[in-house]
Structures are given as structure tokens and as C-alpha cells.
Amino acid sequence: MNPWHNTREVIGMSLQETIACRATNDELPCALALEIAQEAGAAPASMSEAVSAAGVRISQCQLGLFGYQAFGTKRIAGRLDTVPKPLLDALQAAKVKGAVPCAAAWKIADDARIPRLLVGAAANTLDIRIAPCQLGCF
């Protein structure tokens, strides 16, 4: 195992080297990609390109929309039996050009004090696309 794998501060390394060192099995979870972007002073939207350049893939989207192949499925955001009206209204109000930006979905979750995965599942249930991704994945 690389000794820098769990180190928050890697001095003198490029963004791609830091990504490669902190990835596991050539995957970098969404939350860790955002943490690295913040530590490096990089724009989150640039991370998809930087991660690809490092030969790694972003995994474990915090909304449950992609990156769960290690668990046997692409996404874990399922469908809900019911989407509560306040959540439905918030998702509808957050639409921009027919989709809800990832950052807006996070804000909805944070404001409602509910897990981000639940907002992803609600959007999935309502056939509302989440885009753009904060990390530039889509």
C-alpha cells in the first residue's frame, strides 16, 4: 500500500499524483474527489478530467447515481414509493433547462436535513435528470 494513501497533505505532488495515491482499485469516491479539489485549490468541475488523466475513475456518487460497480450495480439510487410533496416541489423548483444541478440537489438535501441518497432516489422516481455533476462527470 502506498504510504501516502490516507495522508491529507501530500507536498510537492501534482493533482494527478495525489489522485492516484489516494485512489483505491483505480477508483476515487466522489466525496474524496471533492476533498482533494478543495485541498488543491482546484475547481471541483475540473476533477473528472484530472481523475481520468490519473488513470482513475470517480465512484460512489453521493446522490447514488453512478459508480457502484464494485457492489454489482451502476447506481444505488432506486425508486421511492412516494416522494413527499416538499421534496417534489424543491426538485421541480431547482430545475434548470429540465435538469437539477448536482449542487442544487445537495442543497435540497442539506436544507431538508435528509441524506443525499434520498434526494437522488426522489429524482430517479420523478425521472428528473441530475446535471451538471459538480465534479464534471456529466
Average pLDDT (42-63) is 96
The single-letter code of the amino acid at 81 is: D
Helices assigned H by DSSP within the chain: 15-22, 30-40, 47-53, 85-93, 102-112, 116-125
Confidence of residue 110 (pLDDT cuts 50, 70, 90): very high
Give the max Cα distance, the chain.
Answer: 50
CB-CB contact of 111 with 119 (8 Å): no
Q: How far does Cα 78 stand from its chain's mean position?
A: 16
- pLDDT above 90 covers a percentage of the chain that reads 90
pLDDT surpassing 60 at residue 9 = no
How far apart (Å, rounded) are the C-alpha atoms in residues 120 and 61? 10
How far apart (Å, rounded) are the C-alpha atoms in residues 41 and 33? 12
Domain boundaries, the chain: 15-59, 85-130
pLDDT surpassing 90 at residue 44 = yes
- Bridge partner residues of 130 (DSSP): 100
